[in-house]
Chains A and B, each alone.
Chain A
Amino acid sequence: MNNHLSEDELILHSYGEVDRADRSRVDEHLASCAECLLAKEKLARVMTMIDTAPPVEAPLGFERTVWARLEPYLEVPGVSPVHRSASKVYDLVFGKTAREGGWLPQWALAGGVAALVIAAFVAGRFSGGDLAAPSSAAVAHVEPDRVLQSAVGDHLDRTQMMLVELANAEVDGADVLAGEQARAGDLVAANRVILRSAIQSGDGQVVDILEDLERVLLEVANAPANATSNDLTDLQSRITREDLLFRLRVIASEMRQRQIDDREAGDPTRRKMPTS
């Protein structure tokens, strides 16, 4: 039999998309050509294999990770973004309060004005501009600028420390991943608070690095119990490929310089932040 059907025609036929003008020719050919019929059946078997393949499953605990990533971005009527940031940072700096459900009631902030200042600082750090001077109540409250600088600076330092350890870990020491999971989980939580402020202030460069950091941190936090040396090598390559350590060092260094400048200036309300 000459003029066999092309593979393209067989594909169109399997999807029922042969042009009307060609339909009878293709049908007639298939009815009389064993070779093309066999090719069509082989294609159908491949299609069936694709159809019956189970979908890729999300990793264990994925729903919780999704919610943790999502929750800070959801709008809550009557609750300002600064209030929400403050609540989160308050938890991170001062520990979990008695409140439940994630959002801090107004009264709870009365004793922790520093948290609000921290959130404002975080936002200001990424906006690169001067912040309005905090209220006298805030200034009077145990040096809130120190607290907030420590919160952000500590996060960057701790993240950097962990990445350095991972980047330098022996390739056959894959269990290092398991040992870092809890620490990575904490860092993810802190990273999200800062990331959210960076997104709000539209600092794309900082958002980029924080997002890259989050992915790596999540990878460590969610590493399987039987992580292999290949997993560690992949992670190390990623840290190197994305210049994470270098970029992190630049920002951390700017933070430290700012703390020094503020101390020397003796003015805790001065907030001209680095722009990286």
Chain B
Amino acid sequence: MKGMDERDPSVVAKARDGDRDAFKALVELHSRYIYSLAHRMTGNAQDAEDVVQEAWLKAHKQLSRFEARADVRTWLHRITVNCSIDLIRARRHREDAHDPADLEQGPLSERGAEAQPTPERVAASVEISDRVNEALGLLTALERAAFTLRHVEGMSIEEVGAKLGMKTSATKHSIFRAVKKMRVALEPYAQS
């Protein structure tokens, strides 16, 4: 974006006033961050891309209500988390109609396009991030969402339950299952 410094606070103000270049500058600055967050919440690239798109559309609609003094990344973070939850909940409703066992029918990694590890993925799995992502891939969508909201977003279990539309006891069990799976998968690599 020539002539447009994304770090300039006035960029947000300009975007709020309908300046398309300013909004584009924000998109270019924050999309990678939003993607990483969405990927952590949803567990696969395709859903993460959809969440990014949805988050920007919401941000664009809500831009007029954004306080210029607030931190834009924090604002986008919140929108992205909410969009991820919407996607997870919508899918849960759809799958409920199909199978009352909700999202507990299997890990994300068995259902997404990333299920089959390529030789490159296997070779690169020595990296911590790959280990962690593989472990996260063992979680169901609901376990992953509950775990991420509790562990990464720092919400209380009660807040996580409210966000996901679950009772506190069910939320607690989702988090327990998630942590246990993560521990079993990662403990061999988490030596001091």
Contacts and interface: CB of A to CB of B under 8 A. Distances in A.
B187 A46 contact: yes
Interface residues of B, number: 49
B75 interface: no
A96 interface: no
Interface in B86-140: 113, 116, 118-120, 128-129, 131-133, 135
A53 B120 contact: no
A50 B151 contact: yes
Contact of B28 (A15, A54, A67, A69): A67
Interface string B175-186: 110011011001
Interface stretch (B33-41, B66-74, B76-84): B33-41
Interface residues of A, number: 44
A226 B175 CA distance: 38
Nearest to B24: A67
A94 interface: no
A56 B183 CA distance: 20
A230 B118 contact: yes
A25 interface: no
Nearest to B30: A63
B157 A66 contact: no
A7 B178 CA distance: 12
Contacts of B133: 53, 56
B142 interface: no
A15 B176 CA distance: 11
A75 B132 CA distance: 40
Contacts of A55: 36-37, 39-40, 129
B190 A49 contact: yes
A122 B129 CA distance: 45
A15 B157 CA distance: 9
B182 A63 contact: no
Interface string A185-199: 000000000000000
A70 B186 CA distance: 38
A46 B180 contact: no
A52 B132 CA distance: 10
A132 interface: no
A168 B26 CA distance: 41
Interface string B145-175: 0000011000011000000000000001001
Nearest to B117: A230
B14 interface: no
Contact of A234 (B20, B113, B179): B113
Interface string B30-60: 0110011101100001101000110011001
A257 B27 CA distance: 42
B190 A74 contact: no
Interface in A72-92: 73-77
Given A46-B187, A58-B36, A67-B31, 5 more contacts: A7-B179, A49-B128, A58-B35, A73-B57, A234-B116
What are the 8 tightest A-B residue pairs by CB atom distance, in nearest-first order?
A: A55-B36, A53-B132, A58-B35, A45-B190, A230-B118, A56-B39, A63-B28, A53-B129
